[in-house]
């Protein structure tokens, strides 16, 4: 089996294009996933508010954990496409971590002042605002990361 250098170069370019298009077609994570995780945190803070019946706290945490496991299983086994881990660049991972930390910062920025003012369910309010923040910004972050992965494939000197 033989192929001309020109055809080989075209084939490699086609491989890169196919990979980049596929990576851009789907966000790195679906928007519902971080929203679900944030709602889990919201639920945990709600059922663990001081003064809550311990049985309600325990039962609530069990139900929320089951829901969280369901989210993870859906993400793992029902996604249309999950980018290969080898493509994840340090910059993309850093961007994701910064976004998660910023989301947590939003929650704390709301919860701490409310808690200082002795408002009940301050943590829950903080997590609700975090959920809204993640719902609003998550799709942008997911698309940004997938575009970074696609650009990495396009700019790589060697096809992956």
Partner 1 sequence: MSELDPVIHAPARLRIVSLLAAAEEAEFGFVRDQVGLSDSVLSKHAAALEAAGYVDIRKGYVGKRPRTWLRLSAPGRRAYRAHVSALQEIVASSGLTLAPE
User: Long-range contact list for 56-63, CB < 8 A, 24+ apart?
Assistant: none
CA-CA distance, 34 to 122, in Å (whole number)?
21
Cα separation values, 96 from 69, 88, 91, 100, Å: 21, 11, 9, 6
Least distance between partner 1 and beta carbon 132 (Å): 27
Kindly tell me which of 4 and 118 has the beta carbon lying closer to partner 1. 4
Residue 157 DSSP one-character state: S
For residues 8 and 62, which CB has a smaller minimum distance to partner 1 in the complex?
8
Output 1 or 55, the one with its CB closest to partner 1.
Answer: 1
Please give the Cα distance from 145 to 98 (Å, whole number): 12
Binding site for partner 1 (CB under 8 A): 1-6, 8-9, 11-12, 14-16, 18-19, 21-23, 25-26, 77-85, 87, 153-160
User: In angstroms, how far is CA 74 from the centroid of its own chain?
Assistant: 13
In angstroms, what is the minimal distance from the CB of 36 to partner 1?
Answer: 16
> What b/e readout covers 54-92, taking b as 16+ CB neighbours within 10 angstroms?
eeeeeebeeebeeebeebeeebeeeeeeebeeebbeeeb
Q: State in angstroms the smallest separation of the CB of 4 from partner 1.
A: 8
Min dist CB 3 to partner 1, Å, is 6
In the complex, the smallest distance separating the C-beta of residue 43 from partner 1, rounded to whole angstroms, is 23
Closer Cβ to partner 1, 58 or 82, answer by number: 82
Please, which residue, 10 or 98, has the CB nearer to partner 1? Answer: 10
């Amino acid at each position: 089996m033989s192929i001309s250098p020109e055809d080989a170069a075209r084939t490699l370019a086609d491989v890169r294009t196919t990979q980049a298009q596929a990576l851009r077609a789907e966000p790195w994570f679906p928007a519902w996933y971080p929203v679900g995780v944030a709602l889990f945190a919201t639920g945990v803070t709600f059922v663990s508010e001081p003064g809550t019946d311990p049985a309600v706290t325990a039962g609530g945490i069990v139900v929320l954990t089951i829901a969280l496991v369901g989210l993870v299983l859906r993400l793992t086994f029902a996604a249309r496409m999950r980018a290969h881990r080898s493509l994840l660049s340090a910059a993309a991972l850093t961007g994701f971590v910064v976004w998660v930390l910023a989301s947590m910062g939003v929650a704390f920025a709301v919860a701490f002042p409310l808690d200082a003012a002795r408002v009940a369910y301050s943590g829950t309010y903080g997590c609700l605002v975090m959920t809204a923040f993640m719902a609003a910004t998550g799709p942008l972050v997911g698309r940004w990361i997938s575009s970074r992965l696609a650009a990495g494939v396009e700019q790589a000197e060697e096809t992956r």
